[in-house]
A = this chain, B = another copy of it.
Amino acid sequence: MPDNRRFLLVRRPDGAPVADDFRLETGPTPDLAEGQFLIRNHYASLDPAMRGWMDDEPSYMPPIPLGTPVRASTVGVVAESRTDEFPVGTWVVGLNAIEEYSVSAAGGFSQAIDPAMVPSPTNFLSVLGAVGMTAYFGYLEVCKPNPGDVVLVTGAAGAVGSLVGQIAKANGASKVIGIAGGPEKCARLIERYKFDAAIDYRGKSLDDLTAAIAAEAPDGVNVIFENVGGDILDAGLNNLAMYARIGLCGLISEYNNAGGKTGARNIWQLIVKRASLTGLLVADYVPRFGEGIAQMAAWMQSGTLVFDEQIDEGIENALPAFLKLFSGGNDGKMILKVAP
């Protein structure tokens, strides 16, 4: 078997991850036990949530153990197999790691996929993958939208946010407002993702952000799909309509804060507006992924839904590609091409 290059976590990041927190290691591919199969990973998904997995803190998944490759969803092809369920040549998507080869097993986290269904197998890491399912179930199930709602999406140019905005429009929102960083992303929200309004958070204080949202939503927002936290969440809290629902998907603004969490300062507004802030995680909806994938695929085909992927090449570029998620340096879902 060929050598296996793996992107290992060797030290827990303090704030933003740096090169010394990782090591690229080359070793043999492992032997398979009965029931296992070996995946040649073609692509790995890079997601903000991975930053949390690098910390040694209680979360919805155990921390990535030091000395092991960074956990990530991948899409690839079965290269060797000791189970009839996943014969050699099968395309699979699953929760594996940033490495050239991963071992999985029947009954584990891998699912067979049909790449002919979509323009690119990477779509199973974006619109039809965890990102798409997060947008679909997070918006429809957790945010409980009503027809005519005014919807605010933060991190709106991101992989999840751009889909949420489009799902909201397709689902009957009266106005969808996105917050993103910089004029280019804001233009893309309007022109490509068909948001009704875009707010550039850069250079804006909490008061500025509060006023900018109020200008677009004078009667308040009925739904917030929150990916960011910090001042952006606090400004949203200042603009709630009565009985508003906030789906809390992520807090990217604080993942790299070594100094501590900012959280939400304006939760008093939850009382004023009898609003709710509810955490969401796509893992809860795995049993319903079939429904979500079918609807998202139908919306793709009808042109209701557009999406973007930014594919950076080379496992040796894993860290700079990952860091683009936090600097806003990516245009669309960040994916790392692992196979040459």
> Which A residues have a C-beta under 8 Å from some C-beta of B?
52, 58-60, 229, 234, 248-251, 254, 260-281, 284
Contacts and interface: CB of A to CB of B under 8 A. Distances in A.
Contacts of A267: 229, 248, 251, 261, 263-264, 277, 279
A275 to B, nearest CB: 6
A229 B321 CA distance: 39
B284 A271 contact: no
Contacts of A273: 60, 279
14 contacts: A52-B268, A59-B268, A60-B271, A248-B267, A248-B271, A249-B271, A264-B264, A270-B279, A271-B280, A271-B281, A274-B279, A276-B277, A276-B278, A277-B278
A139 B264 CA distance: 23
A interface, over-half SS: loop
In order of increasing CB-CB distance, the 10 nearest A-B pairs are A270-B279, A263-B265, A271-B279, A276-B278, A261-B265, A277-B277, A60-B272, A263-B264, A263-B267, A274-B279
B265 A260 contact: yes
A279 B272 contact: yes
Contacts of A277: 267, 270, 276-278
A274 B263 contact: no
B270 A281 contact: no
